[in-house]
């Protein structure tokens, strides 16, 4: 596959693809873009999509650090970002892509800091735990290795047969450990780095987050390809 670099990868139809080409794009926290700083700390990360789901942190002590396009989250603060406005609701299919580097597990990558039981948590060195509507959580596992510097894609297909199946990709490879798990309900997201209330803070860094209200093979390929180009 010919690779042209960040933002310039050839799409599956031969054209140059960008997340904002997708009508189902809910929010796009783009690498090294839309960052508002207080000194070297992040007070805002603007949504590069058209919806305007901007993330902010007005409290200086809770602002992630910033360097070379990367936001670093300190769990001792804790540092996190919260939506400036209405929550993100994913009631059906979704695709979530994140470029990250995990220092220590146990933290929330995406969550909801106002509603109980809504999160995507790096539960162990090899498991991602997903909880929606405060129902029983499900785990998606790595086939090998542990979380570290890489990129994650999580999808839910609610299109009919096999409704609400969750799948996990790590560094572009679909994982088969715990791959046939089902989780219905509406996923609420209003924060990067914590869940209600300021619990399980993330320990690591994030370079980009993409959120869509759909999933497909082509979309998964494109999201993985773009995240792979962010280094």
Q: Report the chain's mean pLDDT, rounded to a whole number.
A: 93
Give the pLDDT confidence score for residue 231 in this predicted structure.
78
Task: Say yes or no to pLDDT of 6 above 60.
Answer: no
Give the pLDDT confidence score for residue 205 in this predicted structure.
98
Pick the CATH number of 22-30+87-228 from 3.40.630.10, 3.40.50.300, 2.60.120.200, 2.30.110.10: 2.60.120.200
Average pLDDT over residues 220-225: 98
CA distances from 53 to 45, 50, 124, 146, 167 (A): 9, 9, 29, 31, 25
DSSP 206-231: EEEEEEES---HHHHHHHHHHHHT--
Task: Say yes or no to pLDDT of 1 above 60.
Answer: no
Q: What are 63's two structure tokens?
A: 């602002």
Give the pLDDT confidence score for residue 161 in this predicted structure.
59
Average pLDDT over residues 158-183: 86
Domain boundaries, the chain: 22-30+87-228
Task: Say yes or no to pLDDT of 220 above 90.
Answer: yes
Give the pLDDT confidence score for residue 163 in this predicted structure.
75
């Amino acid at each position: 596959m010919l690779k042209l670099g960040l933002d310039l990868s050839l799409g599956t139809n031969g054209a140059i693809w960008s997340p904002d080409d997708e009508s189902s794009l809910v929010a796009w926290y783009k690498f090294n873009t839309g960052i508002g700083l207080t000194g070297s700390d992040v007070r805002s990360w603007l949504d590069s999509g058209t919806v305007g789901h901007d993330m902010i942190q007005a409290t200086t002590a809770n602002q992630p650090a910033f360097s070379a396009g990367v936001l670093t989250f300190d769990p001792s603060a804790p540092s996190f970002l919260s939506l400036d406005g209405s929550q993100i609701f994913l009631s059906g299919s979704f695709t979530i892509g994140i470029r990250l580097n995990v220092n220590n597990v146990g933290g929330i990558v995406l969550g909801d800091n106002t509603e109980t039981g809504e999160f995507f948590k790096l539960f162990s060195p090899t498991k991602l735990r997903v909880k929606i509507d405060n129902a029983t959580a499900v785990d998606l596992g790595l086939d090998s290795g542990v979380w570290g510097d890489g990129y994650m894609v999580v999808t839910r297909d609610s299109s009919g047969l096999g409704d609400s199946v969750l799948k996990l990709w790590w560094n572009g490879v679909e994982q088969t450990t715990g791959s046939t798990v089902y989780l219905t309900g509406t996923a609420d997201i209003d924060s990067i780095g914590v869940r209600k209330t300021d619990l399980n803070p993330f320990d690591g860094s994030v370079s980009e987050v993409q959120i869509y209200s759909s999933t497909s093979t082509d979309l998964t390929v494109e999201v993985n390809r773009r995240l792979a180009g962010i280094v």
